[in-house]
Chains A and B, each alone.
Chain A
Amino acid sequence: DTEVTQTPKHLVMGMTNKKSLKCEQHMGHRAMYWYKQKAKKPPELMFVYSYEKLSINESVPSRFSPECPNSSLLNLHLHALQPEDSALYLCASSPSARGRVGETQYFGPGTRLLVL
């Protein structure tokens, strides 16, 4: 089973709302990732969690707050977003936290976020 699930599939929120994106994997992977993908662009890395600890934050604004409650779950809490934050948010996982160059990352279907 190489499935990563994400909820919700679609989300519309106002600039004053607080919402959360959820990601789950049951493959026993120890590293999880959040990517942001704007229309017609490649995905860009936001955060990396290794062994449930935040290991990389790619200078993401504080209105995005990641959380890893356990090894299977990854959340992205959203607060006071701007319209330019509208994008596809992709979650991924990989088996080890050591970043082996040959290790595949498995992606979820993404959440399409629209900020009004």
Chain B
Amino acid sequence: AQKITQTQPGMFVQEKEAVTLDCTYDTSDPSYGLFWYKQPSSGEMIFLIYQGSYDQQNATEGRYSLNFQKARKSANLVISASQLGDSAMYFCAMREGVGGMRFGAGTRLTVKP
């Protein structure tokens, strides 16, 4: 079975600085996809970025980038130039075949002014 691990329950970052949120995973499938979602206090899960196991380059979406190290089975999210609105829960997730997403425990990010 697939497993997603996020070891940072909470992180703090100063506004305008960069922050890295860690995610490691375990799967026996050669083809897999890794996702990051943001969940503000309102509850909605907002899709941020996706990395495929066969992608040659690290994914980037605006201020979000994914540091994908396949041999280490890690897919860390990097947020550059943090903003106050980035304060939220962040979940790393993996798609399980025809089923749903399997999520890590999440990291609560707080951006300080």
Contact = CB atoms under 8 A, between A and B. Distances in A.
B96 to A, nearest CB: 8
Interface of B: 29, 31-33, 35, 37, 42-47, 50, 52-53, 91, 95-106
Interface string A77-103: 000000000001010100001111111
A71 to B, nearest CB: 17
A81 to B, nearest CB: 19
Chain B interface helix/strand/loop/mixed: loop
A104 B75 CA distance: 16
B44 A110 contact: yes
6 contacts: A42-B104, A55-B98, A99-B95, A101-B29, A101-B53, A107-B45
Contact of B98 (A99, A106, A108): A99
Nearest to A46: B100
Given A48-B99, A98-B98, A42 B50 contact: no
